[in-house]
Structure 1
């Protein structure tokens, strides 16, 4: 963890345009939850749909995309990454520092709003709010690592990330049974089910499968991003 890299990364993430988007996304979730809390329908099912499909399935991957790619893609695109690479810092330390900042930022703008939305919709009953909050924490870390990797390997990270987030996670990951095993959202739901207890939340992926996959994705994405960044240094030197 390098304090200078962390400070610069955080400053870039909280720039005017990006910070507006980071505030709008959770605000939308809270607004929908506030409106829905006044409905007279089944509050349990409503909470599961809003927190599961809207919160974990759509808003969380979008936030992870904005933060994960924003942590490094902008520096690569404008060429300012050269100044960072010129410093005597191991490339893995640059990546892990940026990942820590990205994960922390994603947690602040996703897990806290999801917790508040859950409490607003259903209170502390059945552990729903807590379950989805923990799911947002673990899935948010995986998304941050995945999108940070995309920011390093391609100049079209935002487009590629949007395709993944909106088509795979929001659409295919929700409705195509065989694809659910490879969905970060479904892995998060498995953790949510374990925290809240069976019956409160239903997951399609077993916890014994979801947790290792979350760990593998996060670690593998971090390692690959570090290797790729080292390759960028070599290319610059040549």
Structure 2
């Protein structure tokens, strides 16, 4: 006498598997991010950081304090969130704005899969154009003294994940995602989250520094947020932003959908 398990009944052999990553969506997203004017800004900011590092090293020599100011102030405080805005909002915002997202939604691809795929692409682009230039600039500025270059590069990579999720969410909830992203990046992260003590706890930059300081020598990087709290906030923000972006995309309906 044969028996059939519930798993066998619900998942018959040959049934398609649900994947959180879709190669075609990823390819289209990479093309959208790197094939338009956005790519110019993506290249300009890291190039500016590297040129600044070269100029400072030639003019003043290796100096840990100067290196920390450039890597923490300009790179992590301004460049990384700006690149996150470009990559995060650009991964889906333009498709929603011009209506071309309907062609993607008409495909038999689960909408959470679309969001997760676009998030992975945005993270990859943000890390490539922020963490790697930060690492190079750190070596140019002080030869990675006190593991400063590695620490800031780790912080930039960690921040890239949270920024990508946050700005991808912005792209799904407003047609002015770039404006809101710039306000957050330039006012909150670069100004409020750096100068006002209470606001530092809600700064992605401070969370990332808490992680990055573990990769650097003691005292090379400092954060106003303890590591356990920083990790919880990073994971929480990334998870909630990704989940809600998926819900927002599900709320978009096509003609003929019920």
Residue 150 (structure 1) aligned with residue 170 (structure 2):
yes
Aligned residues between the structures: 238
- Distance in 2 (alpha carbons) for counterparts of 1:41 and 1:87: 56
Please identify which structure carries the higher helix content: 1
Structure of larger gyration radius: 2
Q: Does 1:128 align with 2:148?
A: yes
CA displacement, residues 111-148 of structure 1 (integer Å, 9 cap, x when unaligned): 11000000000112211010011111110010000000
Partner of 1:54: 74
Q: Distance in 1 between matches of 2:200 and 2:143?
A: 28
Alpha-carbon offset, residue 235 of structure 1: 8.2
Q: Which residue matches 2:92? A: 72
Q: Indicate the residue corresponding to 1:172 in structure 2.
A: 192
Aligned-pair distance for 1:197? 3.1
What is the TM-score with the length of structure 1 in the denominator? Answer: 0.97
Matches within 5 A, 1:193-232: 193-232=213-252
Seen in structure 2, the aligned counterparts of structure 1 residues 208 and 134 have a Cα distance that, compared at 3 Å, is same
8 Å Cα contact 2:102-2:254 kept in structure 1: no
CA distance in 2, matches of 1:148, 1:139: 14
Structure 1 residue ranges without an equivalent (≥5): none
State the shift of 1:196 in Å: 0.6
Measured after TM superposition, the shift of residue 7 of structure 1 is 0.4
Q: Which runs of 5+ in 2 are unaligned?
A: 1-20
**What RMSD in Å do the two structures reach over aligned CA positions?**
1.4
Deviations 1:130-185 (A, max 9, x none): 00111111100100000000000000001111111000000001111110000001
- Shift in Å, 1:88: 1.2
SS of the equivalent of 2:253 reads helix
Residue 8 (structure 1) aligned with residue 17 (structure 2): no
Q: Give the corresponding residue for 2:118.
A: 98
